[in-house]
Amino acid sequence: MFIIIDTETLATSPNAVVLSIGAIAFSLESGVEPIKFYSKINLREQDCRTIDPDVVTCWMRRAQEDEHATDVFEGLREPVGSALQRLSTYMSAYLAPDGEVWGDGLGCIAVKTLYEEFGMAAPWRNGQLRCVRTLRNLVMQLDIEVNVTHDVSSYPALDDAEWNARFILAARKSLHQRRFGHRIAL
């Protein structure tokens, strides 16, 4: 079983303020699991983390165009330590010992630095990390068409995580089929 993590942040650096964390378990055999993780986390506990005015401006523009973009700022927020503990529990229930932890590059790193700041160990090893952006680039370079619809609800991090999980599954299936169709000798 694999896990994909997505975040909504207020900067594009590893120590960005994290607004929310979404995670979804998935596997090649069963697809996307119905039980998902989502948390909007307390911003006041992240006063040492970075806020980028350009990212805030981007969120403001998105909020004018998309009502779902404002949802990430509304509602109750969970204490960071509690959210990280729940994420660890979720991941220990679903992540196989040899499983992969996928993210867009920034998301997993931002969450890992949160774990470190709160004196907790991240529930994955660095060798388990995979980057969905790298996979997208590979698929594009190999001219493989992967069509996955992107549904949007009021949980952007969770929506993006599910969309990326479905993309990873479709891309791996396409790459697997292509591998048997074309043998390359080096």
Q: What is the pLDDT of residues 87-103, one digit of tens each?
A: 999 999 999 989 999 99
Q: d(Cα 56, Cα 128) in Å, to the nearest integer?
A: 31
Q: Which one, of 5, 36, 25, lies nearest residue 169 by Cα? A: 25
Specify the CATH architecture of the domain 2-181: 2-Layer Sandwich (3.30)
- Decide: 32 and 166 in contact? Cβ < 8 Å: yes
Task: Note the pLDDT of residue 184.
Answer: 46
Band the pLDDT of 186: cuts 50, 70, 90.
Answer: very low
pLDDT tens by residue, 41-82: 999 999 999 999 999 999 888 888 877 777 778 889 999 999
DSSP 125: -
Band the pLDDT of 158: cuts 50, 70, 90.
Answer: confident
